[in-house]
Amino acid sequence: MMKAIYTIFILLATLASTSVDAKTFLTEKELLSQAFPEAGKTSDSKHNKQTLWLDDALQSKIENILSHPYPKLRIKYWKNEKKTVWILEEIGKVKPITFGFVITDNQVELARVLTFRESRGYEIANQSFYQQFNQTKLIQDYQLSKQIDGISGATMSVSAMKKIAKLALMLHQEVMK
């Protein structure tokens, strides 16, 4: 009996030690200061935090992009006259990846990985990868206007980021109507 308990303990300890810790590349505050540098460190007056409630019509559009509904009832975002900032999550292979997108005039101004939790695919957080999204727009059928090159070994992470780029662009259009 003790041998069986010891074996289970070793197995659980091994599994726990192989788990991947989340890696934060950028915080929400850092993203917002990059998106709204004119606001300065002491004022929020240039942008307002808002909430977008996901009704059935919006969830239907989201499902067309993600191939599943967004798992939350509402999404927070920040907005000024022509710019929105979105912090959104999508599953890479098995764990969520948190992305930040700044959209200005219906195109991506800034794309970043905020928190990466997967064991593979972290290369999407490299500047050389995420810069591909700059000036990308949404064209018909929720497609991106630019071809985004993949990364060997990071296919699912790349796919997640492309989906979230489409989602951020579509949501921007919705709130700017």
Task: Band the pLDDT of 11: cuts 50, 70, 90.
Answer: very low
Q: Is the CB of residue 138 less than 8 Å from the CB of residue 164? A: no
Which residue spans within the chain are E strands per DSSP? Answer: 23-24, 48-53, 74-79, 83-91, 96-104, 107-116, 138-139, 143-144
Q: How far is CA 54 from CA 11, 41, 132, 151, 156, in A?
A: 42, 31, 29, 32, 25
Inside any domain, residue 5? no
CA geometry: angle at 163 spanning 162 and 169, to 5°? 90
Inside any domain, residue 7? no
Inside any domain, residue 13? no
* Count of other CB atoms within 10 angstroms of residue 106: 12
Q: Cα-flanking dihedrals φ and ψ of residue 158, to 5°?
A: -60, -45
Determine the structural domain holding residue 112 and report its residue range. 22-175
Inside any domain, residue 15? no
Inside any domain, residue 56? yes
Question: How many structural domains is the chain composed of?
Answer: 1
Inside any domain, residue 45? yes
Looking up tokens 């808002």 gives 50
What is the pLDDT, as a whole number, of residue 41?
54
What is the pLDDT, as a whole number, of residue 21?
82
Inside any domain, residue 1? no
Question: pTM here?
Answer: 0.85
Inside any domain, residue 76? yes
Residue 91 confidence (pLDDT) above 90:
yes
Mean pLDDT, residues 104-121 taken together: 97
